[in-house]
Structure 1
Amino acid sequence: MSGFRLTSASLTGPVARGLIHELNAELAATYPEEGANHFRLDPEEVGPGRGAFLVASDVRTGVPLGCGAVRLLEPGLAEVKRMYVRQAARGRGVSKALLAELEARALALGVTRLVLETGTRQAQAIGLYLGSGFSDIERYGEYVGSELSRCMAKSIA
Structure 2
Amino acid sequence: MELRITGYDHPDAVTLTAAVQQEYVRRYGDVDTTEMLAEHFAAPHGVFVVGYLDGEPVACGGWRAKDSSYEYLRDGDAELKRMFVVPGARGRGLSRVLLRHLESSAAGAGRRRVVLETGTEQPEAVALYTSEGYAPITKFGVYRCAPESICLGKELAAG
Q: TM-score, normalised by structure 1?
A: 0.91
1:18 equivalenced with 2:15 (yes/no): yes
Match of 1:42 in 2: 37
Match of 2:98 in 1: 98
**Secondary structure class of the residue paired with 1:143:** coil
Shift of 1:143: 2.4
Alignment of 1:6-155 (within 5 A): 6-32=3-29, 37-58=32-53, 61-74=54-67, 75-155=75-155
Q: How many residues align?
A: 150
Is contact 1:55-1:65 (8 Å) kept?
Answer: yes
Write the distance in 1 (CA, Å) between the matches of 2:94 and 2:85. Answer: 7
Shift of 1:57: 0.3
Write the distance in 2 (CA, Å) between the matches of 1:20 and 1:37. Answer: 11
Q: Which amino acid aligns with 2:126?
A: I
Q: TM-score, normalised by structure 2?
A: 0.90
Q: Which amino acid aligns with 1:113?
A: R
Unpaired segments ≥5 residues, structure 2 = 68-74
Write the distance in 1 (CA, Å) between the matches of 2:36 and 2:6. Answer: 14
Is contact 2:34-2:142 (8 Å) kept?
Answer: no
Is contact 1:138-1:151 (8 Å) kept?
Answer: yes
Is contact 1:24-1:39 (8 Å) kept?
Answer: no
Write the distance in 2 (CA, Å) between the matches of 1:10 and 1:141. Answer: 22
Write the distance in 2 (CA, Å) between the matches of 1:87 and 1:129. Answer: 18
CA RMSD of aligned residues (A): 1.3
Shift of 1:39: 4.4
Instruction: Calculate percent identity across the aligned residue pairs.
Output: 35
Write the distance in 2 (CA, Å) between the matches of 1:138 and 1:106. Answer: 21
Is contact 1:45-1:51 (8 Å) kept?
Answer: yes
